[in-house]
Chains A and B, each alone.
Chain A
Amino acid sequence: MDIKLFRKKDGGVIQLVDKEKMKNWPVELPLIFIEYIREKKLDRYEDNTIKKDIESYLDEIMKEIAIPRLIGVLDSENDEEIILSLTRILDVAKKNIEMVKPIQKYLVDLQKSKNNKVVELSKNISEMFVKAERRKELARKRKIMRQKEKEFLDGKITAQDYAKIRKEYLLLKE
């Protein structure tokens, strides 16, 4: 089968390429496809049931095709293919780091490679993970900060406790 059908309540149909065909795609393309449909098309489908069905189809693609294929390449000993994949992964990571998270653990070993380019690319991607983690942590602290500010203004915590949390937040921000 070449195409997967999703029937809308109004009788229309959304047709998406079958995941089996993606087994022959360039290794990074299933990820790009998932991101493309999620960001550019899902909202336009309107029908909520169909959105949900397509979301779970995209998850299937991610789990069964996209990640195993990336891992397959990163686990191999072909430096040329690894470099090509890492370059593409870096492009995808720049747009949405969450999409390439499953390959994070493979980056540690790749940084020990004898090939300088492999090391450089895996380091770059790892740094993006670190930055993304920091951004996430900062967002979490900011949320706490706002809560504590409110509590401080309400007189529920002391100036000392507030100053301590504020300091932690500012250090992380820098």
Chain B
Amino acid sequence: MAKKKVDKSYDLKAAKELYYEYLERGKEIKDFEQPVDTIKIEDLSRNKILNRIYKLTDTIIKQIYNTGRPSIELPSRSSSNIIWDEENDLLLLGKQIMEKQFHSLTSVADITRLMRVLEVVTELLNEDLHATKREVFYTDVNLFSEQKNSDKSIEDVSTMLYTSRNSTHIVAAPRGSCVGRLRIRDRTDIIDLEAQGSGGWTISPFLDQIEIIESDAELILVIEKNAAMMRLAEDRFWRKYPCILLTAQGVGNVATRMFLKRLNKELNLPTFTLVDSDPYGHYIHSVYLRGSKRLSYESPFLATPNIKLLGVLTRDLDKYQIPKAARIRMNKQDEKRTKDLLKEDFVKKNKAWETDLQLAIKLREKAEIQAFATHGFKFLTDEYLPEKLTTGDWI
């Protein structure tokens, strides 16, 4: 059935006010200060990281000569060592150190894999090449057996060297995409993100080669789903409302989160997420906001602490009259995930967020972004998003 077209105009007043506020405040933004009880991870140049590897190797060789029982120490990545830094609103890695021994039967496989990854990293850095996590796995399938093992060793190597994963030249396969009012430089090419077709520009994992060179955007919108991104791209949403659109097609991968952080920091623009109204959507927002537990050691490079949850909020389901047929009953796992989120300190400190999650528990309902299509395919771009950005209805 054709929907009644409501001809309203939106000036995105609330989003613009936030934009002007950021512009004014921009001059006062101070650098991130690392809390004393957390470890400091640095983005390092190729030479610096190679030096760290050589020093580490020297220490191991000395231990072999002196005691015959070498071991290595690295920051623990267990949940008990993950600290929420309230001031900076980030998940960081504490100072607990764990020891891995070469001669112990319980850790020999683990440490062998770790040393193999260290060898791969050294090779990549020496030849100034990059490899994906999948490629690292295929360097020694028999040793790693499953990719989750090589992934874990990659993360261990980064923490052991106190550096970001990108500095080790191991990158994630490209997954995210970006379109809108933005021009970037990739080595010697200038790329216009308004002229990349509806698929957009694939966010390069080689972000050290990317530079922002021009933008007249006034906000950034991060979208959970590729389908919703396509809807906005097809409508050329950024033409009517100057913005940059990004998606990672699910949880933000390292490259997407790192690129978003750079956009947010360098362009100093208000940034919003549009996710499904379910605990997983809220979790995706939280990962952009303060980092993931698994990669907490990299949070200062990946998190965007001023990102706002624009929608889809639980309260939006009634407000925008999402029909019952388009809502989905929460299952037990959804309820558990929502309750787990409610236990997190960063949710407890944000009353609006806590209230919305409590409403989800009460209603036991969830909905996808696509549920707005029940009001017409253009409802999302013509009504929902502009109205929310005009009224400031976000968390």
Contacts and interface: CB of A to CB of B under 8 A. Distances in A.
Nearest to B187: A26
B213 A13 contact: no
A12 B214 contact: no
Interface centre among A5, A12, A26, A33 (most CB of B within 10 A): A12
Given A3-B266, A15-B267, A17-B212, A29 B242 contact: no
B119 interface: no
A16 B181 CA distance: 12
A45 B216 contact: yes
Interface string B185-223: 101101010000000000000000001111110100000
B20 interface: yes
Given A2-B266, A29-B185, A32-B190, A11 B20 contact: yes
Interface string B72-85: 00000000000000
B216 A14 contact: yes
Contacts of A5: 23
Given A29-B185, A32-B190, A12 B218 contact: yes
Nearest to A13: B23
Contacts of A170: none
A15 B183 CA distance: 10
B187 A16 contact: no
Interface stretch (A35-43, A74-82, A102-110, A121-129): A35-43
A37 B214 contact: yes
Contacts of B185: 17, 25, 29, 33
B315 interface: no
Contacts of A140: none
A13 B16 CA distance: 11
B361 to A, nearest CB: 41
Interface residues of A, number: 22
A8 to B, nearest CB: 8
A119 to B, nearest CB: 25
Interface string B295-314: 00000000000000000000
A41 B190 CA distance: 13
A117 to B, nearest CB: 20
B211 A17 contact: yes
A14 B212 CA distance: 12
A5 B26 CA distance: 11
A143 interface: no
A12 B23 CA distance: 10
B211 A16 contact: no
Contacts of B187: 26
A16 B190 CA distance: 13
Contacts of A23: none
A140 B211 CA distance: 43
A21 interface: yes
B266 A40 contact: no
A166 B266 CA distance: 60
A33 B16 contact: no
A15 B242 contact: no
Nearest 9 pairs of A and B residues by beta carbon: A17-B213, A14-B216, A15-B215, A2-B266, A26-B188, A36-B190, A16-B214, A15-B267, A3-B266
Given A12-B242, A15-B216, A41-B183, 11 more contacts: A2-B212, A3-B266, A3-B267, A15-B267, A17-B214, A25-B185, A33-B190, A36-B190, A37-B214, A41-B214, A45-B216
Interface of A: 2-3, 5, 11-17, 21, 25-26, 28-29, 32-33, 36-37, 40-41, 45
Interface of B: 16, 20, 23, 183, 185, 187-188, 190, 192, 211-216, 218, 242, 266-267
29 contacts: A2-B212, A2-B266, A3-B212, A3-B266, A3-B267, A11-B16, A11-B20, A12-B242, A13-B218, A14-B216, A15-B215, A15-B216, A15-B267, A16-B213, A16-B214, A17-B212, A17-B213, A26-B187, A26-B188, A28-B188, A29-B185, A32-B188, A32-B190, A33-B185, A33-B213, A36-B183, A36-B190, A41-B183, A45-B216
